[in-house]
Amino acid sequence: MRPSSAVLLAVAAACGGTSGPPSIPSAAIDYVDGAVQPVLTRGTTIVIEGYGFGAVQGTGSVTFASGGTVGAPATIVDSGWSNFAVEVVVPDEAITGALVLTTDAGQRLERTVNVVAAVGLDPAALAWQARAGFPRAPVGVALAAAEFASEAGIATTLFAAGGAEPVGGDSSFAPEVGVHVSQATAGGGLTAWVRQVESSDAVANRSLPAPRAFAAAVVATRNNARLPLSTGVLYVIGGIDTAGRAQKTVFGADVTTTGVTSPFFSLEPLPFPVAGATAVVRRGSIYLIGGTDPAGQPLASVLVARITPSGQLDGWYHQPTIVHPRAYAGGAVLDQRALVLGGIEAAVAPGGGLDDLPPRLDDGDTNFVSRRSGFFVGAWGAAGTLLPQPRSQFAMLNVGTALLVVGGMYPGAATDDAETLAASYSGDSVGAFTGPVGIATIHGQGGGTLVGPAGATWREANGTPHGVVLGGMDLATRLRRTGVWGF
């Protein structure tokens, strides 16, 4: 297993400096909301992790930078103060700058945080616009957006890994190794997609070590994980190989705002092969829910891996299983609640196919997740019927105040009568999906009736949400589409 540059630099830093035992502070902030320098949203509840905070709050307090000379005080959550963690609500007046935790003993601890406004997206006014087209293999692409926050603002880069060309029908695919990169521009635009170096020289190669399609992808940075450097790590999880069988590989590579900067290296593999799963990174942990096994049988599995400061994974932890096995479903991890919905619960070919059978699901499962440990506390429960019709193979986008479902297989998909649905949410409370929403659809602009598009979201420095969907199969023509659509 090849260590990332984050690993090597951390070791070098530990070996430097003066001789003698290190000076150990009596109190310190390690992470804020699971990250070194997080991007926080006003009005949300976060966790400050460290040690020496004091067993009781007493006169202790937490303040954020504000526009005035006095910091904005944060509300401490009930029973949210301990020696190792403090839970607070980000004030509405908070701005990017120093978060200050003052202990009852008078110690002042600081950590720089980035703060954005809670800007909502009005689904009714959603207008899809064509973005820079994807050059090849748009079916089963693993897509992730990475936010890199700095004093200059938030720079977002999109990474698209693997994918496949359909061969001999819509359920047989030839996976590939290519990795493409695009930068977000003001207003939600994208630069042209650039294919990363593909070389027989292992040191120079920036493509995947093996072909993969229908894998999951997430990116960790210092802004959403425990990475100490300004670089990040792209993780490509599971997926099918050239034989169409699910794999348990996990590949990682160092990334920056400009692209992939190291060869991909093998990380802690999954305990079993998975393809078509839902993956989310939240508070420094990766959540992998559902998917299919090598025979195409949907899984009820839930796995959690915590990202270490070196970019490695500390193992895949088995968590309570979801109520229904689900593949090609959608999911989100909100505050203290995880949600998975839709999908297929019967054996399917890679990608889920374009036929009415097997039947899809219209309900969801939900569970409580701890802010502090990142693990699930109890058993999953039924979330009830969330979708107006059974649906699978859609892109699910979290835009801060709403969840969007885009494309997919559902009754009526052939006439594209519900291309995009929306469910509003606040905290952990999610409403039912309704629609169609929007004033300019992908189908209405010649983008096709998309099944299986990949999706990703990000924010601008002022909190404005943006999102894209990429590729997919056109249900009307049963041909792949190279389109990228965003808002």
Quote the pTM value. Answer: 0.94
Q: Which of 14-28, 300-314, 405-419 has the highest mean pLDDT?
A: 300-314
Least confident segment among 150-154, 169-173, 275-279: 169-173
pLDDT for the residue 357: 87
- Given a cut of 70, whether residue 454 has pLDDT beyond it is yes
Superfamily the domain 26-116 falls into? Immunoglobulins (2.60.40.10)
Instruction: Read off the pLDDT of residues 29-50 as tens digits, 9 standing for 90 and up.
Output: 999 999 999 999 999 999 999 9
Instruction: Read off the pLDDT of residues 67-103 as tens digits, 9 standing for 90 and up.
Output: 877 899 999 999 999 999 999 999 999 999 999 999 9
Average pLDDT over residues 291-299: 98
pLDDT for the residue 14: 40
pLDDT for the residue 170: 64
CA pair distance 40, 42, nearest whole angstrom? 7
- Given a cut of 50, whether residue 275 has pLDDT beyond it is yes
- Given a cut of 90, whether residue 171 has pLDDT beyond it is no
Kindly indicate the confidence band of residue 20, based on its pLDDT and cuts at 50, 70 and 90.
low
Cα diameter, the chain: 72
Instruction: Read off the pLDDT of residues 372-420 as tens digits, 9 standing for 90 and up.
Output: 999 999 999 999 999 999 999 999 999 999 999 999 999 989 888 899 9
pLDDT for the residue 6: 46
Superfamily the domain 123-486 falls into? Kelch-type beta propeller (2.120.10.80)
Average pLDDT over residues 107-129: 96
- Average pLDDT over all residues of the chain: 93
Give residue limits of the domains in the chain. Answer: 26-116, 123-486
Least confident segment among 20-24, 146-150, 170-174: 20-24
Average pLDDT over residues 134-148: 93
pLDDT for the residue 9: 42
Average pLDDT over residues 196-223: 98
Q: Quick one: three-class SS letters along the chain?
A: CCCCHHHHHHHHHHHCCCCCCCCCCCCEEEEECCECCCEEECCCEEEEEEECCCCCCCCCEEEECCCCCCCEECEEEEEEECCCEEEEECCCCCCCEEEEEECCCCCEEEEEEEEECCCCCCHHHCECEECCCCCCCCECCEEEEEEEEECCEEEEEEEEECCEEECCCCCCEEEECCEEEEEECHHHCECCCEECCCCCCCCCCCCCCCCEECCEEEEECCCCCCCCCCCEEEEEECCECCCCCEECCEEEEEEECCEECCCCEECCCCCCCEECCEEEEECCEEEEECCECCCCCEECCEEEEEECCCCCECCCEECCCCCCCEECCEEEECCCEEEEECCECCCCCCCCCCCCCCCEECEEEEEEECCCCCCECCCCEEEEECCCCCEECCEEEECCCEEEEECCECCCHHHCCCCEEEEEEECCEECCCECCCCCECCHHHCCCCEECCEEEEEECCCCCEEEEEECCEECCCCEECCCEEEC
